[in-house]
Structure 1
Amino acid sequence: MQFANEFILVAGAMVTFAIFAGVASSRVGAPLLLVFLALGMLAGEDGLGGIGFDDFSLAYLAGSIGLALILFDGGLRTTREALSRAFSVSVGLATLGVIVTAGITGATAWLVFDTGWPTALLIGAIVGSTDAAAVFFLLHLKGLRLRPRVAATLEVESGLNDPMAIFLTLAFVAVLSAGGGALAGANLQATGLDLALELALDFLWQFAGGLFFGVIGGALVRRAVNRLNLSPGLYPILAVALGLVVFGAAQSLGASGFLAIFLVGFTLGNAPHRATNEISRFSDGLAWLSQIVMFLMMGLLVTPADLMPILLPSLAISAVLILVARPVATLLCLGAFGYTARELGFVSWVGLRGVVPIFLGTIPVLENVPFAHEIFGVVFIVVLTSLVVQGWTIGVAARLTGVELPPRPRARSRAELDLPMEAGRSVLAYTVDPMSLVARRPMRRVPLPAESEIISVMREGAVHQGLPADGLKPDDFVLLLASGDKTAQFDRLFGARRLRREASDPVTIDFELDPQANAAEVAGLYDFGVTPHEADRPIADLMRSRLGDKNLAPGAKLALGPVELVVLAMEEERVTRLGVDLEPALPVTLVSRLRMRAADTWRSIRDTFFIDSSGN
């Protein structure tokens, strides 16, 4: 009983201290995952805590559950658009890319360590995949907004590449356990052909089985959430519990439970269901707790004194992995899909290693593979190096490669209420920021998203039904009715904006327009001039006439008065998607700054003296 009490005390204290340490470390830009890992080492037997922990079985169990919960949360937050945009390229990076990375890294391990090829390739297989937990957390925690294709590629790849890494790890562990022969427990003879066939069939079942369990399980989980009448607090528990059931069933039958639970989360997150906010918040909290516990536990497993003999060879493996293996794999898998050199460079650099390699590193120890503890130590050093070198420099790398987008305005205060699932809509509540577009512009020039309306406005204690005659003012409290996928657009309208001083990415927009919309109507909405000849033409034709056919391409921009139109996509020389940037960036010059200031001053004077209180 005393041990149980002490365990609860120590566990609670470590998690609490990890949270406070993470808050403090964010001021110097240290990756939170690195902080959690370092705290686990400090609490270990060679650290200040002196806690002796070497239960690899418990670590494997906790790692499996924790990683499953993190992938479930990652699936919830992966949009259908992101998956469709990057699925094909991400599958290549998650399969062939892992094999290439594992092969190059394994060859390096064979050179720096006096060991055989199976052991060296096992090291390469364990560190061959990017870590979903590290990618999801480090990208989102640092508040990075990346080019959509780059962000989608990294997130989808990290969610899909676990099956290949796990498959390769188990395959080489089985080979070593059988003394270099066939897979453990296989009925085939130990011949090269039999071994290759067994490996191929095993991988196909892992991937295909993971897809099957994920798609079917996701549909059943969503149906259960929508059909059962429960207390609101039980819906997130039900969703997570059923996700773990799918994970466990897939794993028990030899399929990839990690892929399955990612797809369960993806299915649930991209379809209307009950208790949307409750499930999202609960899953986010569980993912955080899993991340903290996993890194603390993995840090406890390591004895720093045992790492010193293998430190230099492990650093050499880390260097080759970061500087050679990952870039080569990225170039082979993405080079033919139109990625720019800068995009390839960033995707190569964000080949983050995190808790998944450490989790996989426990498998050789549990299977009593020769050199197992040294393998775990090598993997730990590789992960630590990745978090320090790559995790600490993600923001710098995004800026240097030009894949970072300007941050979207954040609403000062937003609350969200779920309506009945059948409605497909939600109620949003905002406090109007003085620097937001809705406060700085007449409402007739603020394009509210389609299928949305203002329900009421509270101002100085008085409630106005609908939009007041004088528009919205700073500190107004606004209730809106909107479809669920318009939250980001409302955040841009109600969030504080500052005049941007740096050139933006070609896809930085505030809203999308219909390319066939009448040019005169668009001009009236956004206050720019068109000629009589252009007035009755589609806005896409206006862009073509002003830019010319040679310059009309995805990313092309056309400045029109106070806004900028951006071509987002084309098919057969026809503009299919068009966006508008309400506050386009200008070069950082004295002239541009004066132009900005003059334009703002004129709009302020015009809105004050030439527009009546009704906004006309």
Structure 2
Amino acid sequence: MFLNSFGTNGFLLLAAFLLFSGIIVAKFSSRWGIPSLILFIMVGMVTGSDGLGLVYFHDAGTAQIIGVFALVIILFEGGLHTKWATVKSVALPSLSLATLGVLITSLLIGFSAYFLFNFSLLEGMLLGAIVGSTDAAAVFAALKERNIKAKMGATLEAESGTNDPMAVFLTLSLIELIAANDGSIWTMIPTFFVQMGLGLLFGLAVGKIGSLSINNIRLDSSALYPILSVAFALITYSITAFAGGSGFLAVYVAALVIGNSELTYRYSIFQFNEGFAWMAQILMFIILGLLVYPGQLFTAEIMGNGFLLAFILIIVARPVAVFLSLIKMNYTVKEKIFISWAGLRGAVPIVLATFPIVEGLEASRDIFNIVFFIVLSSALVQGSTISNFANKLELVGKKKDVPHHSIELISMGKAQAEMIQFQTNRESAVVGKKLHEISFPNRANISAIIRENRVITPYGETEIKEGDFLYILVEAAYKERLKKVLEERVPRPETGVDRDTDKDD
């Protein structure tokens, strides 16, 4: 309605309004203790046809395309920031949660929907498959800058980054069975292993090619390197999907490879992708909110069914799946309880819920509305209480020290030099030494030191302290020598003041 009346100008004004709304929502969501995805969705619902009537949107196919594109960007950004050493330490439990955990959750919710409501067995299983996986966008956003114990954060992020293939496989297989009204899901099991295998293979290959390309291709503008990284994310998903593999898994694996490689223009790439992921998240949730009709969603039947299934998911299905998936995997009962509680549902279930609508299945709209209500309940109840839950279970780690200063890190490709950032910790060998006592390479110069959000001008007698951010300009040929100096460790006794509550990780 709005777009039809005002055309291009109206579209641009609406886009600006939605982006401004998303930014304001993102700023106040943490202050209010409400997950940002809830508020993004509300912006879409308010501006939709059942709200202010600014946009009339009912195209599930378009919403599906936008959702998949946004998930690729969000997964890629999450993978870039994930340390391989951290993922490796929780690889087995995360894989178990991403496969067996999703299957158990889907079966329990599927049988619940079948026995409690007017769904056929296959329709109930389809609903269970759609909500079976945790959501990367929701988990990454919920854990970002929170001081959750490192082991817990790594497990949840690795699980959410790798469990989409199982949910997608189950969803598409059940849609095919319902649409064809024959066949057996057992004949499709080999397809799952093919999708997982190809996803891993393509992710590793494209990730390696991507990191080599970023480091060796000389582009005229440094602004092109972040765009090149996004191009690799999109091509990773596309070629893997065309080959019959899991595009989502491939994107996450490729991002892991690229993010854990030595990159030129690293800071620019990371900052661009973080901003782009925020924009994708805002766009995706608002579009999904537009697809919802509050008049259909907030009915006694949908709310009752949705709330009951959300309760079963949060209190029964997810904990059962977690405890069974993590048998004999060195997790305490408290840790399993926290992982159960932090299994957030978000954009992935809503995007998957558009698939039955696109295929024209009979119960598709009821499934979509119930899934939407489950996601709202999960995000609102679980997402807003993660930090408090971790505190109650004594699963908080060291407070994340995120720099808020504005020194710009640069990589000067033609000059073969780079400005790098390094934060010292208790065991850094350089801590306690004066600059003139440190054997930095001749071609490396400390440009600035950030200490407690203050800029320290470095000179020979400046002493390095724990927690300092060092900004060092170094020629590319001397970067490895500089790394050896910075990464040298000296074990130091812990003090009562600085004791690390996360030392078992």
Q: TM-score range by the shorter chain?
A: 0.7 to 0.9
Q: Is the 8 A contact 1:273 1:421 kept in 2?
A: no
Q: Secondary structure at the match of 1:335?
A: coil
Describe the superposition over 1:255-286 as per-residue Cα deviations: whole angstroms up to 9, x where unpaired.
Answer: 11111111111111001122111111111111
> Could you tell me which residue of structure 2 aligns to residue 330 of structure 1?
322
Q: What amino acid maps onto 2:305 in structure 1?
A: P
1:280-300 deviation line (CA, Å, top 9, x unaligned): 111111110110001000001
Matched, 1:35 2:27: no
Q: Does the alignment pair 1:89 with 2:81?
A: no
SS where residue 239 of structure 2 aligns? Answer: helix
Note if contact 1:221-1:243 (Cα within 8 Å) is conserved in structure 2. no
Aligned to 1:189: none
The alpha-carbon deviation at position 456 of structure 1 amounts to: 5.7
Aligned-partner residue type, residue 164 of structure 1: M
Residues 268 and 410 in structure 2, CA contact (< 8 A), matched pair in contact too = no
What does residue 8 of structure 1 align with?
12
Instruction: Report deviation, 1:568.
Output: 5.4
**Amino acid corresponding to residue 319 of structure 2 in structure 1:** P
Q: How does 1:7-406 map to 2 (within 5 A)?
A: 7-140=11-144, 143-179=145-181, 181-182=182-183, 192=184, 195-197=185-187, 199-230=188-219, 231-307=221-297, 308=299, 309-406=301-398
Q: Residue 129 and residue 411 in structure 1: after superposition, are their counterparts in 2 closer, same or farther (change >3 A)? A: closer
For the 8 Å contact 1:75–1:262, the answer to whether it is kept is yes
Name the amino acid aligned to 1:10. Answer: L
* Preserved contact between residue 352 and residue 391 of structure 1 (Cα < 8 Å): yes
Q: 1:330 to 1:445 in 2, by over 3 A?
A: farther
TM-score (norm 1): 0.71
1:123-161 CA distance string (max 9 Å, x none):
000000000010011110xx2122221111000000000
Matched, 1:455 2:459: no
Distance 1:57 1:449 in 2: 60
> Relative to structure 1, is the Cα distance of residues 409 and 200 closer, same or farther in structure 2, using a 3 angstrom cutoff?
closer
Instruction: Give 3-state SS (helix, strand or coil) of 1:455's partner.
Output: strand
Structure 2: gaps of 5 or more residues: 451-455
SS at structure 1 position matched to 2:327? helix
Amino acid at match of 1:467: G
Cα deviations across residues 235-255 of structure 1 (Å, max 9, x unaligned)?
A: 111111122112111112221
| Aligned residues of 2:433 and 2:463 also touching (Cα < 8 A) | no
Task: Tell whether the 8 Å contact from 2:110 to 2:125 is kept in structure 1 after alignment.
Answer: yes
Q: 1:391 to 1:229 in 2, by over 3 A?
A: same
- Quote how far apart the aligned CAs of 1:222 are: 1.5
- For 1:220 and 1:67, the matched residues in 2 are separated by 22
Residues 264 and 464 (structure 1), Cα distance of their counterparts in 2 relative to 1, 3 Å cut: closer
1:102–1:125: 8 Å Cα contact kept in structure 2? yes
C-alpha distance in structure 1 between counterparts of 2:222 and 2:371, whole Å? 42
Superposition deviation, residue 412 in structure 1: 6.1
Q: Quick check: 415-424 or 361-370, which moved more?
A: 415-424
Q: Deviations over 1:34-54 (max 9, x none)?
A: 110111111111212453210
Q: How much is the aligned-residue C-alpha RMSD, in angstroms?
A: 3.6
* CA 1:281–1:408: 2 relative to 1, 3 Å: closer
C-alpha contact 1:361 1:375 (8 A) present in aligned 2: yes
Question: How far 1:407 moved relative to its partner?
Answer: 1.1
Query: In 1, distance between residues paired with 2:328 and 2:80?
Result: 30
Opposite residue 270 of structure 1, the aligned amino acid is N
Q: Following TM superposition, by how much is the alpha carbon of 1:336 offset from its aligned partner in structure 2, in angstroms?
A: 1.3
> Cα offset for 1:424?
10
Deviation at 1:112, TM superposition (A): 2.1
Residue pairs, 1:435-584, within 5 angstroms: 443-444=432-433, 455=446, 466-468=459-461, 471=463, 479-480=471-472, 513-514=490-491
Q: Deviations over 1:35-88 (max 9, x none)?
A: 101111111112124532101111011011110111111110111111101111
Q: Report which structure shows greater RCO (CA 8 Å, sep ≥6).
A: 2
Structure 1 residue aligned with 2:453:
none
Describe the shift of the 1:472–1:165 C-alpha distance in structure 2 as closer, same or farther (beyond 3 A).
closer
The 2-side partners of 1:7 and 1:465 are apart by 51
Amino acid at match of 1:208: G
Query: C-alpha distance in 2, partners of 1:320/1:378?
Result: 13
- TM-score of the pair, normalised by structure 2: 0.86
Task: Output the CA distance in 1 between the equivalents of 2:458 and 2:135.
Answer: 50
Q: CA deviation at 1:427?
A: 3.7
Deviation track 1:350-374 (CA, whole Å, cap 9, x = no partner) reads 1100000000000000011120111
> Letter of the aligned partner of 2:328 in structure 1?
A
C-alpha displacement of 1:466: 3.7
Structure 1: runs of 5+ lacking an equivalent = 183-191, 491-509, 515-521, 523-557, 570-576, 578-616
State how far apart, in whole Å, the 2-side matches of 1:278 and 1:422 are.
17
Superposed displacement of residue 465, structure 1: 7.0
Q: Shift of residue 455 of structure 1?
A: 3.2
Q: Residues 414 and 428 of structure 1 are in contact (CA less than 8 Å); yes or no, is this contact kept in structure 2?
A: no
Between the aligned partners of 2:64 and 2:471, the Cα distance in structure 1 is 48
Q: Report if the CA contact (8 A) 2:410-2:418 is conserved.
A: no
- Kindly tell me the number of residue pairs found equivalent between the two proteins: 479
